[in-house]
Amino acid sequence: MATKTPTAPKTRIAPKRLWLEAAAAPAGASPLTLTGTAEITAIAAGAGGADAEKALPRFKMLAYTGGAMRVAGWRHPVVLDLAGLSVPSQNRPIRFAHDPAAGVGHTDAIRVEGGQLVATGVISRDTATAREVVASSRNGFPWQASVGASVEEFEFIRESQKAIVNGLEFSGPINVVRKSILGEISFVDLGADGRTSASIAAHQGAGGSGGGGGPTGSDAEPTPGAGAAALRAEALAETNRIAAVRKICAGKYLDIEAQAIRDGWDATRTELEVLRASRPKAPAIHAPDTSITGEVLEAACFQSAKLEGLEKVCSAQALEVAAKRFQSGLGLQELLIEAAIANGYTGRTFRDSRRVLEAAFGRGIEAGMTTIDVGGILSNVANKFLLEGFFSVERVWRSVCAVRNVSDFKTVTSYRLVGKDQYEQVAPGGELKHGTLGEETYSNKADTYGLMLSIDRRDIINDDLGAITTVPRKLGRGSGLKINDVFWTAFMNNAAFFAVGNKNFISGADTALGIDGLTKGEVTFMDLVDSDGKPTGVMPSILLVPTALSAVGTQLYKSVEMRDTTANTKFPVANPHQGKFRIEVSRYLSNALYVGNSAKAWYLLADPSDLPVIETAFLNGQEAPTIETSDADFSQLGVRMRGYHDFGVALQDTRGGVKSKGEV
């Protein structure tokens, strides 16, 4: 049974158009594009009697296979969750390349089968495009399909997480489109998913056999007398052939599977090819490939820096070549020299260091057979150590805030349904009463924070490869510290947010953290009401405390019993709060440099996914900083690295938490 891994909150976005296609979107369309290939079986309509000329060609499409796709404008792959795909009606337009002016026909049945989207219909449009699709099908052209849908909601799965979509398991980072609305389906002539292919059924008479992929004989027109039964038999035979091919290949021989489906192989031919491919290969005598590539240099950098989990970021071949070529480790000078030589530099020493840097970074490349992007190598290496630095600092903020994905740096506003939002009894006539959308709004915006550091000429001359691990660690740590600084500055400057007037602030001697104080805080939280005066229905979930209250908070969470030390009693007191509230401890809460600091104040908060008191917005959902590398300008000699992070923090709903002063 798969282990459920927590994922990032789902993100609502304004409806956009997207295409599951390989070709460019038509003019005027949204730039949001999903790339994929589908399988189509175009079936000629039966012809017979007086209705022979009136019969319409039919088609069957495997419109989407349920896998991940690379999408222009999205940084990570995208999966369309078919469980959340809404089909407004079974009759959807069929077009060519998503062009409304290029109509082809319409569907009469759309369904999800085994994690795939299947559609059938007729070529019902009398257009030049429709006639071309039919004629090309007769000639055996392998049409593919593309689904047009509007994105209503998507979820970002982070690198350490997994998600099961369409019956398949996907590892992050990946975007999952959780809700979408089907608009139309298009014929396209080129797709990008090499694991699927298109199969076109021949137009044959009642006595013909299926298969092929094009017309057989000299006449591709339907033979008079052919009926619907023959068409169904033909389609069934093709479906059974493809199923047999996939069963034989068993997901292990994808190239053979694709060719067999495309070229119309039967089960015997496919089984023979699989048998040949499965035979052990005769040992070959060859020299190992020791050529220096960007991947090899990257692996050598990781080996020299002793990065953990090398096999997860580098291929076995690259690690082997790097280990043999650079047995004593790779120095910074050697890295730059190797890249410069690959880019055409004719020298063999670092004496002319400026020319080496120019060639290594691709400026003034001389005639060379290969090129290596040393900037990309340094960025990839630096990114691993950037994340080490970023995750090395306190991350309590991530546990107590909601996360929003924004697409630009403009202020974004959230609206909450308040007032008459409770269901009313429906009268016998069946008429529903209207609710009201209140005026409660919450805003946030992302800003850019960054820093630039340099590896100067002394580091290069000293051949210090450690500089490209130390500098990005500093940049990553700097980003982690900055997001903490911005977050806790906003959170702790809360005198107007947690206030008696908002009924979410308590003070007095009986508010010190303990059984009685926590009980008072819980009651205060539970008594919070909506703007219409009714309970919020939200439960407290998190106990946020400064370092001085860490031990007491842990006792309240874990201990079944506690002792009243002030009365010196020998008898324990039952702890009614055991296991209730997850404890979070932040050193920022009592730091004297932050407004509102206190070593005694504590907070009882709702789960941020239910009702957040604070929210962090990230540009394009990028929660980790970005690092870039380049050579320095003319006035300097060295390598520059810059790290930047786009985020914003803002307080949200006062009903999402209670603050206790913890003292008189």
- 664 pLDDT band, cuts 50/70/90, is low
Q: Are residues 15 and 155 in the same domain?
A: yes
Higher pLDDT, 504 or 225: 504
Closest alpha carbon to 395 in 480, 475, 472, 478: 480
Q: Are residues 229 and 334 in the same domain?
A: no
Higher pLDDT, 594 or 442: 594
Reduced 3-state DSSP string for 417-483: CCCCCCCCCCCCCCCCCCCCCCCCEEEECCEEEEEEEEEEHHHHHCCCCCHHHHHHHHHHHHHHHHH
Per-residue pLDDT at 469? 75
Q: Which class for 279: exposed (0-12), middle (13-18), buried (19 or more C-beta within 10 A)?
A: exposed
Residue 537 φ/ψ region, left for φ over 0, alpha for ψ in the -120 to 50 degree band, beta for the rest: left
- 633 pLDDT band, cuts 50/70/90, is low
Range of the domain at 308: 294-390
Q: Are residues 204 and 298 in the same domain?
A: no
- CA torsion sign for 133, 135, 139, 140 is positive
Mean pLDDT of the chain: 76
Asked if the structure places residue 595 within a domain, the reply is yes
Average pLDDT over residues 19-45: 41
Percent of the chain predicted with pLDDT > 70 = 73
Asked if the structure places residue 638 within a domain, the reply is no
Q: Are residues 33 and 101 in the same domain?
A: yes
Cross-strand bridge partners of residue 43:
58
Per-residue pLDDT at 37? 44
Cross-strand bridge partners of residue 149:
18, 182
Percent of the chain predicted with pLDDT > 90 = 22
Q: Are residues 249 and 122 in the same domain?
A: yes
- 14 pLDDT band, cuts 50/70/90, is very low
246-286 pLDDT, tens per residue? 888 887 788 888 888 877 888 888 888 888 787 665 554 44
Per-residue pLDDT at 637? 58
Higher pLDDT, 296 or 342: 296
**Could you give the count of Cα atoms lying within 13 Å of 436 in the half-sphere of its Cβ?**
8
Please check the confidence at residue 1 and state whether its pLDDT lies above 70.
no
Asked if the structure places residue 1 within a domain, the reply is no
Structure tokens at 618: 């990230």
Number of structural domains (the chain) is: 3
Per-residue pLDDT at 580? 93
Cross-strand bridge partners of residue 188:
144
Asked if the structure places residue 273 within a domain, the reply is yes
Of 251, 277, 303, which residue is a domain's last? Answer: 277
Per-residue pLDDT at 314? 82
Asked if the structure places residue 437 within a domain, the reply is no
Q: Are residues 251 and 301 in the same domain?
A: no
Per-residue pLDDT at 528? 94
Please check the confidence at residue 576 and state whether its pLDDT lies above 60.
yes
Q: Report d(CA 48, CA 66) in Å as an integer.
A: 39
Asked if the structure places residue 411 within a domain, the reply is no
Q: Report d(CA 395, CA 391) in Å as an integer.
A: 7
Higher pLDDT, 20 or 633: 633
Count of residues making up the chain: 664
Q: Are residues 526 and 588 in the same domain?
A: yes
Per-residue pLDDT at 5? 42
The C-alpha torsion from 76 through 645 and 313 to 466, rounded to 10°, is: 160
Average pLDDT over residues 634-644: 69
- 439 pLDDT band, cuts 50/70/90, is low
Per-residue pLDDT at 248? 86
Per-residue pLDDT at 24? 30
Per-residue pLDDT at 294? 80
**Could you give the count of Cα atoms lying within 13 Å of 215 in the half-sphere of its Cβ?**
17
Predicted TM-score (pTM) of the model is 0.51
Per-residue pLDDT at 206? 32
- 422 pLDDT band, cuts 50/70/90, is low
Between helix 267-278 and helix 254-263 the angle, nearest 10°, is 160
548-571 pLDDT, tens per residue? 999 999 999 998 888 765 555 556
Q: Are residues 170 and 233 in the same domain?
A: yes
Q: Are residues 156 and 77 in the same domain?
A: yes
Average pLDDT over residues 55-67: 82
Structure tokens at 110: 């759309």
Please check the confidence at residue 483 and state whether its pLDDT lies above 80.
yes
Closest alpha carbon to 405 in 187, 643, 213, 647: 647
Of 344, 362, 390, which residue is a domain's last? Answer: 390
> Which residue reads 């923090």 in tokens?
649
Higher pLDDT, 83 or 368: 83
Closest alpha carbon to 71 in 142, 174, 203, 161: 174
Reduced 3-state DSSP string for 510-553: HHCCCHHHHHHHHHHHHCCECCCCCECCCCEEEEEECHHHHHHH
Q: Which of 30-39, 123-132, 440-449, 626-635 has the lowest mean pLDDT?
A: 30-39
Q: Which residues contact 95 (CB under 8 A, 6 or more apart)?
A: 102, 103, 104, 129, 184, 185, 186, 187
Q: Are residues 167 and 65 in the same domain?
A: yes
Q: Are residues 209 and 77 in the same domain?
A: yes
Asked if the structure places residue 433 within a domain, the reply is no
**Do 355 and 361 form a contact (C-beta atoms < 8 A)?**
no
Q: Which of 277-281, 302-306, 609-613, 636-640 has the lowest mean pLDDT?
A: 636-640
Q: Report d(CA 505, CA 538) in Å as an integer.
A: 17
* H/E run at residue 66: none
Average pLDDT over residues 612-620: 93
Asked if the structure places residue 611 within a domain, the reply is yes
- 7 pLDDT band, cuts 50/70/90, is very low
- 224 pLDDT band, cuts 50/70/90, is very low
Of 390, 424, 443, which residue is a domain's last? Answer: 390
> What SS3 state is found at 563?
strand
Average pLDDT over residues 495-520: 94
Q: Are residues 244 and 385 in the same domain?
A: no
